[in-house]
Chains A and B, each alone.
Chain A
Amino acid sequence: MKRNGPILSLTSILLYCFMYTPIVVVAIFSFNASKYGVAWKGFTTKWYGVLFNNEQALRAAENTLILASASAAIATLLGTLLGYGLSRYWFPRKKFVATLMYVPVVIPDILMAVALLMFYGLMRDALGIFELGLSTMIFAHITFQIAFVAVVVKARMVGMDPALEEAARDLGANRWNVFWRITFPLMFPGIMSGALLAFTLSLDDFVVSFFTSGPGSTTLPILIYSSVKRGITPDINALSTLMVCASVLLVAGVTALQPRKNYHEK
């Protein structure tokens, strides 16, 4: 193993500073007493109070949580089944279909957003379904979450020791019992980190939400975007700081669930 030289260390520390500059700046300004502009006028926590009395922000937070929980729940179910099926069973044209299933991971989000906007619009005109709102956003989020959940679950399945299931079968367990007593508990950490990943993706999504939302289904990222367009207010900095904290907690959750060897051996 090579040791890090001073130039490499210094460069890397500067790059870390660069990556964290925006996050730290938002956090600092959420405590800035100045209402306008970016000049520092002293420390205050009043913007957090303003935020918690901001009717619009509270409703957006509620929408965001409903959207993230509902979409993550359905996507976890569908994605887990997909990951399980793809890692277990063969079917004709499997390789091709499996590749297609990962398109949502790589497709630029603007493309998915406008395709869905158009699809919902045409469906509404033709059949009277898919009125833009929270439900259309949930469907949209599920669509990109499924693939991510499946990737995580499949990675977990690949690392599983098949001897455990074989042993259970040899000892007389039927298929149902093997699944619920052996396979599912082994898959569970993968399912949980897939669910957390899906939840975080939904919390962070702006582009897809922006195009598939209707009146009254504003989420926090959409609220932040419209405030940025109108001129940022300090309570939005407070909101962003809280969202960053939520992301940090979720990352910590996902990291804690990941088996160590994923980083070091594989």
Chain B
Amino acid sequence: MEWRKERECIFGEQLSPLDQTLRSLRTSGPAIVWTTLFLFVPLLGIVFISFMSRGSYGELQLPLTFDNYSRFFGFGSFGFDPLYPYILLRSVLLAVGSTLLCMICALPLAFFIAGLSPRYKNLALTLVMIPFWTNLLIRTYAWQMLLSAEGLVSKIAQFVGLVGEGMPLYPSLGAVYLGTLCDYLPYLVLPLYASVEKIDWTIVEAAMDLGAGRIQSFRHAVLPQIIPGLAAGIVLVFVPATGQFIVPDLLGGAKTSMLGNSIAQQFGPSRDWPFGSAIAMSGILALMFALIIYNRILAKRGGEGLL
């Protein structure tokens, strides 16, 4: 309610709550209706259909059952099979692992950009923005060329003796991690840089003067100041990495299939929408669960929490 009073003063217009609501309808209304129709209704549809079943021609059938979910958790019609639980676990591990990798790489980059003189700073930032806006598909298939048996990276790996003669580096889980890191690194660098740029270095100097070592002063004087950027960046990487489809599809094989690939498989070639919906729902629930835990940890660390 405080907000309303403030606005009334600022724009010199006396608007009653009713007037404001009417004006909201005329401005925000169409976008809200659009997003509801094309996003929230379809998403609710996914929830509903995940409890239906697939007919023999791929059509949707009643009654409502939990069969799709029990199949997802391994209790299918042929006894226990941990295929999908493994896929879920693998996706979550990939998301966590690639987020950590991105964090390790983004930290030096963000500090490097913040430490440049203003002349080079904008250039360095734009150089991070360009891959960010370049088609992810293109960046991913380029790695296919580099990691194929004849590719440059594979040749180097063969020369060093990491892999056997004439062996490709893809499809493999390592290739999926590499592709994910390359694709999502800018997502973490940009918000992290915004925080690093604002660091009050006098606090760090004070910590050093008081006898803190490099690690201690990073932990107690630098880290608390960059938590907001780091927290935003982690979500920006973690969420799309959980649901990613292109990178595992192009750089991984059947053994590195992730949630995104399974969903695509069910909605595409297999045409089992109810099961695909159940996978998607389980994915969302896992994602929400991870974000809630993450938010808890952040709040405990004294941060404000993101959600």
Contacts and interface: CB of A to CB of B under 8 A. Distances in A.
A263 B146 CA distance: 35
Main secondary structure of the interface of B (DSSP, over half): helix
Given A25-B146, A37-B150, A84-B27, A1 B133 contact: no
A7 B137 CA distance: 32
B136 interface: yes
B245 A166 contact: no
A104 interface: yes
A118 B126 contact: no
A76 B184 CA distance: 26
Contacts of B25: 91
B21 interface: yes
A82 B35 CA distance: 11
B134 A23 contact: yes
B111 interface: yes
B140 to A, nearest CB: 7
Interface residues of B, number: 93
Given A25-B146, A110-B260, A169-B12, A101 B267 contact: no
B231 interface: no
Interface residues of A, number: 89
Contacts, number: 271
Interface in A7-65: 8-9, 11-12, 15-16, 18-23, 25-26, 29, 37-39
Interface of A: 1-4, 8-9, 11-12, 15-16, 18-23, 25-26, 29, 37-39, 78-79, 81-82, 84-86, 88-92, 94, 97, 100-101, 103-104, 106-112, 114-119, 122, 139-140, 142-143, 146-147, 150, 162, 165-166, 169-170, 175, 200, 203-204, 206-207, 211, 221, 224-225, 228, 232, 240, 243-244, 247-248, 250-252, 255, 263-264
Given A26-B138, A255-B129, 11 more contacts: A9-B112, A25-B152, A82-B27, A94-B24, A108-B239, A109-B243, A166-B10, A204-B135, A204-B136, A232-B144, A247-B134
